[in-house]
Amino acid sequence: MPIATHEQYCKMLDNAKANGYAYPAINVTSTSTANAALKAFADMKSDGIIQVSTGGGKFASGQAVGDEVLGAISIAQHVHLMAQKYDVCIALHTDHCHPEKVDSFLIPLIEETEKRRANGQPNLFHSHMFDGSVLPTDQNIKMSQELLERCAKSEIILEIETGVVGGEEDGVNNEDTPADKLYTTPEEMVEVTRALRPLGKFMYAATFGNVHGVYKPGNVKLRPEVLKEGQDAITKELGEEATNWLVFHGGSGSELSEIHETLTYGVIKMNIDTDTQYAYSRAVVDHMFRNYDSVLKTEGEVGNKKFYDPRAWSKAAEESMTKRIAQACKDLKSDGKSILL
């Protein structure tokens, strides 16, 4: 079916919050990885979110161009076309736009949707993330308010973040972040909600010890109860209807019990990148090792085109990534819950 409407996206998020499940939000960097995500969601009868980061957009535009905005638009247009062939709702999102990239990445994409709407076309992206977590809270809120006011005029949902997600992703390194910055306080959650709720719809990436990347079990100290404490504080101050759509960043390697606990506190979206990167690349490595003599022209031999044709190994990579996303749908309990069923 066509890409989700704003109303369908809101229904997706409301249903997830009300029924204790979340959507895998899959970072993609190419048509191949986007296709893997689309197939996985359809296979699992799960609606889902496909997202592009600044680095993903830059890569998608090609090394000779290196244009973050153009690459993001290219992937979004591909998903708009391909989603018509699937019977689930797909939403498009951009991930982690830091303050210094707002004018060069986020604003041009918002403008692209504004142009499309003026021509009677649907939004290019359904939601965007502004990551102002590096700023003092008051500055983070001020920039978030300005962006949300503009986004709301075009039925775009804004995702914001307070606290800091540790680790490294997409060239941004937070590995030396002080431990106390990894946990959003209830007071912050109330302050942010009070400031943003009157302006439009938003998702909230409150941090509770999350870390980007993948680590051995026990190395990441998640405290899901931080989310409950924040939502409880919001209920007390602003009413239960003000509790947030929460987002889980840095979930790779997390215990399933911890993931499930966050779903009971309002997490409706979980970003997945590291695990799907590995699934995609692992299949390529396997193909190359198994077919070493066929993919290389060595010692006077000519190799075997059937094996070094990029379609051979990229097909295997897509299938592997699709399986990992399907598992994510099960883990987040979104399987079989498409709003179209």
> Among this protein's residues, is 95 annotated catalytic?
yes
**Measuring CA to CA, how many Å separate 2 from each of 86, 88, 139?**
8, 9, 38
Chain mean position to CA 302: 42
Contact 125, 139 (CB under 8 A): no
**Measuring CA to CA, how many Å separate 219 from each of 98, 174, 179?**
26, 16, 13
The burial of 41, by beta-carbon neighbours within 10 Å (0-12 exposed, 13-18 middle, 19 or more buried), is given as: buried
Bridge partners for 50 per DSSP: 26, 92
Interacting residues of 202 by C-beta distance below 8 A, sequence separation 6+: 144, 148, 157, 158, 159, 160, 196, 244, 245
Interacting residues of 24 by C-beta distance below 8 A, sequence separation 6+: 46, 48, 49, 270, 272, 325, 328, 329, 332, 334
Catalytic residue among 95, 273, 275, 335: 95
Annotated catalytic residues are: 95
